[in-house]
Structure formats: C-alpha cells, structure tokens
Amino acid sequence: MSERESMPYDVVIVGGGPAGLAAAIRLKQVNDELEVCVLEKGSEIGAHILSGAVVDPRALDELLPEWREQDCPLAEVPVTENHHWMLSRSGKFDMPHFALPPFMSNDGNYTGSLGNLCRWLGEKAEEMGVEIFPGFPASEVLFDENGAVMGVATQDMGVAADGSQKADYQPGMELHAKYTLFAEGARGHLTKRMKAHFDLEAECQPQVYGLGIKELWDIDPAKHVPGRVIHTQGWPLSESDSWGGGFLYHQAGGQVALGFVTALDYANPYVFPFEEFQRWKHHPAIREVLEGGKRVSYGARAINEGGWQSVPQLAFPGGALIGCSAGFVNVPRIKGTHTAMKSGMLAADAAAAAIVGEREKDALDEYDTAVRSSWIADELSRVRNAQPLVSKFGGALGTVLAGADMWMRTLKIGLPYTMKHETDAAKTGRADLYKKIEYPKPDGVISFDRLSSVFLSGTNHEEDQPCHLVLKDPTIPEKVNLPVYAGPEARYCPAGVYEFVEDDNGIEQLVINAQNCVHCKTCDIKDPTQNIEWVTPEGGGGPNYPNM
C-alpha cells in the first residue's frame, strides 16, 4: 500500500462504456471545472465493447443533440426494415409488424458498432477535459475511515504467475474521489463486491443473464440491405431445453453483424451456447445471407436479463452503480445502451449537484430516486414480466404470454404482480437427468470452432501473470462439476478457456486456458457451484474488438 501513488479527482468512473462516458460528458457539461477521470480495462476505449447493436438514440439526443451532424459513426445507418422471424428447423414465419407491441418497433433507431460509438464518445469527453486511462483496470475499492468508498486502486503491473514481482513491476495507482461511479458492464467484479458489501440486492430479485455471441461478416454486396434488422427465435434452442434468439443486422461497409443470445438459466447442462450459434447459422434463411461472405470478427459478452425487478439499490456511501453494472437492459427490445447512458447522466447530475453543495462520499440517494421516476423506470416496468414468463413457460407458450402481458401494459393493464427470478447457476440440472447433445462438426465455411473464433477476437493476455479466473476451491471441478453436471464449464465458455484433460493416471483434471478469455463473465455467472470468480487481469489484456 505504501508504495502506491495517489491522484485526487472529483469523480472517478470505472468503465469506459456508454454509461461511463455519458456520465463523464454530462459532468463536464454541468460543471466544466470538475476533475473527472475514466478508467478502462481494455487497451483502448471500445476494445472490450460488444453489442448487436441497434441503438435507440433517446439518451444520445438528450446528451449531445447535434450528434448526427458531428460525424458520429452511429448516424451512418438508420434502421430501414424490421423483421421478427419465428424459426423452425428449415422454415420461418415472419411475424407481422402489427402483432408486436408498438414500443418493440425499431423505427427511428440506428444500427452500427457500439465500440465505435464509444470511441466517438471518448473523443468528445477528452475534448471537454475528461482524463481517460485505457489499459488500467480498477482492481480494488478503497474505503475511508467511515466505511465510505473513497476511490479505487488500479491493478499492479508486472506480477508473475507465482505472485512474485517481475523486473518491470509497477504498483497500481490509487485514484481518490468525492464520488466513484461503477460502470463496469454486466457482472462487474467490483460491482459484485459492492453489492455484497452494502447489501444492495436486499430488496430486489437476483440478476439473471444471457450469453451473447457475435460475429461480423463481409457479405456479397448484392445481399446487403443497409438498415435491415432481423431478430429470430425458436429453432435451434427449441430443441435443447433452452431459450433465447438470434439477430442479423445489415450495417455500414457491406457488413452484417449477426449473433445469438442463449439465456443462461438453461437446465440441461449439455447445452453448448457456442454450438447452438453455429447450428443457427446453418438455418436456410441465415445461411443464404452468409454464403459467399467472409467472417471477419468474433466476440462474446454476458447480458443482463433480470429487468426492473433485478435493479438493486443504486447509491451507497461514496459510490453509485450505473449502466449494466446496475442492469437496465430492456430484454424484449434487446436494448440497453440508451438506458445505460441515461442512468449515467442522472448519476452525473446528482454528483455534480452534491459537489457544488460541498458534499462528498455520502450516498447519492437523489440519483436512485431520479432513476426510479425517469423514463428508464417507465420502459423497464412495462416489460418486467417478459423474461420470467418465457423462462417459466418456455419459448413458445412463454412468448405468447409475454406478448399478451406487454400488449396489456400498453393499454395500462397487465399481470397484477411482478414475477420473480432464480439465479442461473441454481437452475442448472444434474447431467443424469438429460441426454447428451451431439452437435455437428463445423464446416469451416459457415460454422467454426472456438479456437479459430477466439483468434478473430484479438484476445491476448500476458502469460506469466496470476490467473484471473480464481477457483475458490480447486477440488470442486473434479469432485462435483464433472460427476454431477458433466463438466459444464467446458461448454458454457465461448472461448474454450476450460477443458477437462486426462492426466498420466487417466483421471480428468480441469485445465484453465486463461489467455483465451474474452471477458464475457459467463463462468462467474453459470458455474453451478459458484466456485469461479472472475477478477481483473493485467491491464490491456483480453479482446481487442476493432468494430464490434
């Protein structure tokens, strides 16, 4: 501790995604004398950002009204077509637009790279005087003598795998702040600690998640329709005791962004989300778009799916949760950027006002109140039963019930109660209750294996460093996960980090290939024994997404 240097700020923001950057910009808009810094664990702003993405510009319009005329990359492709396909193994039904609740429409939205939007927002923030430190993950929360958050410390650099200091060792930096905003995204590791430390989830449902896996393809120009947005549900998850859906967005530069979300509450431990995505690409309607094209990028990320009932207490002494750290994704719309940005703006307003009032390191309760009386609350409350209805009753019946509830809420009525959640880890079933799923081998044209996919993510970690995937009990994988659940970590990870390998005595042992990790956080979420904890690796490690 004594060898760390420290730097004082008015506000420290942990995470350079849309929520964190919106907060930083808003702080400088309100009071340009505020000292604001953003810590980003990726090698640059946008390096770890992955989303579909079809973005509702509502919050962006509020933050920077002239963004369309300021060379913002998102403005390039407005949505021109909106399709929702119900897939069977070989066919599809294009659900009529009028059958969907009006708020499900993508009219007025834009499709593009969320990473590039964040790069643009980062430039705007820096122009306003925000200090941004990429490659510096926050690894520890600092508390003052009264127990309030007083900032964070960045990860030590140059630590060897055995814990010793290498020749290039550099201790982390302490960043002290009057208020610290946590904008780490879904399942942030410091956010997780703050939730436990301050018991922020005492009055809400547990957060639940989906795993989103995404690819970018250059496709035949004759097949490219800029602004065409397609969402799918049904096959292949209808065959594997799970649910979720796919997306295919025609974006700039002759590219399509396509991906697949598997809800992580699946019970069958043999479900393999990566392979379900590969199967989905072979559906005739999807394969038709991809044939003759080339895959150019790959990545994966966990997505909050808990909805309004899973939003925790947002403020605590010295800090607040914003964006996906808190969980503001509208699951039926598959959108969270606009709500994340709005939450960051509301937190910025509260922090700026508190600092002007000579407050510091107290709870920004006015931020929590502002969120719960904002359009974030209106939007998420309207769809709060959609995810649990599908989870409880399955993709077919659950979708009908969720649609009915959303339509009724459009008419100011609906189910008279809010449904509850159970954690994704707890929903995992015993392997002996299920039949093993045989997935087809990749053809190397439409479908691929995980290792070649991870290569396209640009993922890299310094090999000689402590493993950032920590087993609380190293014996659990072999004693419990393998015999009871058939070793699900070898399947739920979209990067091939976990594998069971026979030792010289023919006994299977878990091997962790941490250098492959794309920071999706699925292992931290889905491990049935909750034995795996994701912590920050050395700065700049992980994926380097160029256009995701």
Active site residues: 51, 301, 337, 493, 517, 520, 523
Which residue stretches of 270-419 are H helix? 273-281, 284-290, 337-356, 365-372, 375-382, 386-393, 395-410
| Burial track 202-228 (b if 16+ CB lie within 10 A, e otherwise) | eebbbbbbbbbbbbbbbbeeebbebbb
Cα angle: 63, vertex 543, 324; to 5 degrees: 40
Beta bridge partners, 177, equal 9
Task: Identify the CA nearest to 263 among candidates 331, 311, 328, 327.
Answer: 331
Task: Identify the CA nearest to 513 among candidates 538, 534, 494, 495.
Answer: 495
Task: Identify the CA nearest to 187 among candidates 473, 536, 463, 461.
Answer: 536
Hunting for tokens 């931020």 — which residue is that? 367
3-state secondary structure of 127: helix
The backbone torsions φ and ψ at residue 356, rounded to the nearest 5 degrees and listed phi first, read: -60, -35
Residues in the chain, overall count: 548
Biggest CA–CA distance in the chain, Å, is 68
